[in-house]
Amino acid sequence: MGKRFAIIVGTRPEIIKMAPVIRECERRKVDYRLVHSGQHYDHAMDRAIFEQFQLPDPHVNLRVGSGRHGEVTARILERFEAYILQEDIRAVLVHGDTNTTLAGALAAAKLNLPIGHVEAGLRSFDRTMPEEVNRVLADHVATHLFAPTPAAVDNLRAEGIENGVYLTGQTAADAIEFLRPGLAEHPILNELHLKPGAYVYLTLHRQENTDHRERMDLLIQGIERVGKELGFTIVCALHPRTRGRLIEYGWLDRFYGIPGIRVVYPPVDVFASLALQSQAAVVLTDSGGLQEEACMLGVPCVTLRENTERPETLAIGSNRLAGYHPDTIVEAVSMMARAPRGWTHPYGDGRASIRILDIFLAE
């Protein structure tokens, strides 16, 4: 591809997982534009990711901000389409399952441009999740589908998508390999006075969890019991959405008062998060990305959901679904803390970004 293309990102997980692709673009000196939608707009947290991965600044920030799903998607679609036309963009790369993913793919599709979808084919089979809707729609308009695992390829085939599908591995593996050399020396454990293997690393941010009061109550009960009954310190990187809901429900003091909990707010950056995961007894999360990261770091994971778009982690024994009930949460953490860690992760060899650009630029 000799024409200019755009990479659009809008959330911190997208930036992290596209960082290896962006770095490879820079190494090859290709003609591309890096577009930040502004869907996540914490400048300090974004800046930390760009610095840690040594990325160039985005060429443009669309500054769409927050809002309802339709509002955000529409603003990105409108502003990104205008940028595509202004900059004579001839192809677009999107990642994952966010509103930025969907809007970026739709803008390109409406203009009949080639679309590469990085992390194609993931499925939770739960259409109540906004992320599931986004990823399915993006897959069905993409021309190049970069699947991270054979299971993702199978999911696409089951939906009648076979042309333009490429098994590349997961770019998150590339990102972890880039940061891995510094994890052991990271100061975060000393700063939080933590002992390796003596704590559970907790993140909680999914809309289907945080926006349901009864479910959040059950989850907090489960977290309390993990500390009390299993004796673990709980290290929580508190997400702004979750903090907002705790304030709305009148539970912020309750959450901060969980015995043994250490709340980090604002949440730690990606480098510190990986360092905390790497030394945890268990990662306790509702994040899809952390299920993968824990698996690649060799740390057991318990997922606070009833389904996952990362079934490979369940198959190899690195992850267990706990749902929302306190009993199943305590049971899952107890089991995974004692589980063997000898799995081989299924996400590739850390060269996914090279394969993706080899394919996308050859068209």
What is the pLDDT at residue 221? 98
Q: What is the mean pLDDT of the chain?
A: 96
Query: CA 146 to CA 128: how far, in whole Å?
Result: 24
Question: Residues 88, 89, 91, CA angle at the centre, nearest 5°?
Answer: 150
Tokens of 258: 């969980």
What is the pLDDT at residue 40? 75
Q: What is the CATH number of domain 182-337?
A: 3.40.50.2000
* Confidence at 196, pLDDT banded by 50, 70, 90: very high
Beta strands in 37-90 (DSSP E): 60-61
Query: CA 220 to CA 255: how far, in whole Å?
Result: 7
For residue 343, report the phi and psi dihedrals to the nearest 5 degrees. -70, 160
Over pLDDT 70: what percentage of the chain? 98
Q: 344 or 42, which is more confident?
A: 344
Does the pLDDT value for residue 32 go beyond 80?
A: yes
DSSP 129: S
Q: 5 or 2, which is more confident?
A: 5
* Confidence at 351, pLDDT banded by 50, 70, 90: very high
Candidate list 36, 205, 239, 345, residue with the active-site label: 205
Q: Residue 173: what residue type?
A: A
What is the pLDDT at residue 363? 72
Level-2 CATH architecture, domain 5-170+348-362? 3-Layer(aba) Sandwich (3.40)
Look up 205 and say whether it is catalytic: yes
Residue with tokens 């060429």, as numbered in its chain: 59
Contacts of 327-335 spanning 24+ positions with Cβ under 8 A: 328/222, 329/219, 329/222, 329/223, 329/225, 329/226, 329/284, 329/302, 329/304, 330/222, 330/225, 330/226, 330/229, 330/230, 332/302, 333/200, 333/226, 333/230, 333/232, 333/282, 333/284, 333/302, 334/230
What is the pLDDT at residue 1? 60
Which of 96, 172, 167 is closest to 129 using CA atoms?
96
What is the pLDDT at residue 45? 75
| Domains 5-170+348-362 and 182-337 are alike in CATH topology | yes
Residue ranges of the domains in the chain?
Answer: 5-170+348-362, 182-337
* Confidence at 2, pLDDT banded by 50, 70, 90: low
**Residue 229 CB coordination number (10 Å):** 12
